[in-house]
Amino acid sequence: MRRKLTPYLLALPGWAWLAMFFVVPIAGMVSLSLTSGNVITGFYQTFNVGNYLDAITLYSEQLVRSLLYGLGATLICIVIGYPAAYWIAFHGGKHKSTYLLLILLPFFVSFVLRTISWKFTLSDNGVVLGTLKSIGLLPADFAVLNTAPAVVLGLAYNFLPFMVLPIYAVLERMDHRVVEAAHDLYASKLQAFLRVVLPISLPGVFAGGLMTFIPTTADYVNASVLGGPGNTMIGSIVQTQYLVNNDYPIAAAITFVLMGVLLIGIFSYARALGTERVMEVQAK
């Protein structure tokens, strides 16, 4: 009897942690998202589903924009991160850990600071644009800041390591002889990559995709620092509603709408990639 209980007892601290810091706050937030009132009179539980209707109707533009920005940043991360991970795994030689450290190095500086430094770098008359303008390569009114590309690139920059590391992990663990086997079986270099390396590394791309798409979509720092009024992301709305307007119910409702949309997106993404199959390969 005792032996049967042991695993559950061992899991108990974990469950307690989850209950206290995940289940309880989420339940509290769900409850909060259904209340009415304001910060002065207090909030009363009225099961006010209207908060959700407001969240969707008032902020659908920012919601869609967030998803698009997140998607764009994720795609850029794949395009930049995959070759980087591939190169380190296959050609990194003795210095693999050095290259990985270089990938992680920006993390030693605060996320907000890094984003602000981008603002300086990309400012209209800063080091980069100012120089290019002075030598006449760019028109004087050219701007990067306060545009959608600035936000998307900032997101991609900040979350790139989350894409590189999972892809690297899969490529590194892969038996590199399979590439030789593919060549031996008449595959060209491109075919060997497309038919063997890429499919085997898909679980890494899948994991990296999740780890970049979710935080980039919910991010508000990049939009606030690098974007303008036209680039507001849903995270900024939540932040404003909470901390500026103190409209907790609507902020909570927006949060859950975003969560719901992300979950639907993740499940259809997993379906499309055939995650079960993908996971099976990874398990091996």
* Dihedral over Cα of 183, 186, 190, 195: its sign: negative
Q: List residues near another protein by CB under 8 A.
A: 175, 177-178, 180-188, 191, 195-196, 199-200, 202, 277, 280-281, 283-284
- CB nearer to another protein: give 20 or 181: 181
Instruction: Quote the least distance from Cβ 85 to another protein, whole Å.
Output: 18
Count other C-beta atoms under 10 Å from residue 249's C-beta. 24
Instruction: Quote the least distance from Cβ 34 to another protein, whole Å.
Output: 46
- CB nearer to another protein: give 67 or 170: 170
Instruction: Quote the least distance from Cβ 193 to another protein, whole Å.
Output: 13
Helix (H, G, I), strand (E, B) or coil at 175: coil
Task: Find all residues with CB under 8 Å of 277, minimum gap 6, and list them.
Answer: none
- CB nearer to another protein: give 61 or 280: 280
Instruction: Quote the least distance from Cβ 90 to another protein, whole Å.
Output: 15
Q: What does residue 142 show for φ and ψ, rounded to 5 degrees?
A: -70, 135
Instruction: Quote the least distance from Cβ 208 to another protein, whole Å.
Output: 18
DSSP string, 208-257: HHHHHHHHHHH--HHHHHH--GGG--HHHHHHIIIIIS--HHHHHHHHHH
Angle value at C-alpha 41, between 39 and 43, nearest 5 degrees: 65
- CB nearer to another protein: give 29 or 270: 270
- CB nearer to another protein: give 130 or 173: 173
- CA dihedral 58→56→70→126, nearest 10 degrees, is 10
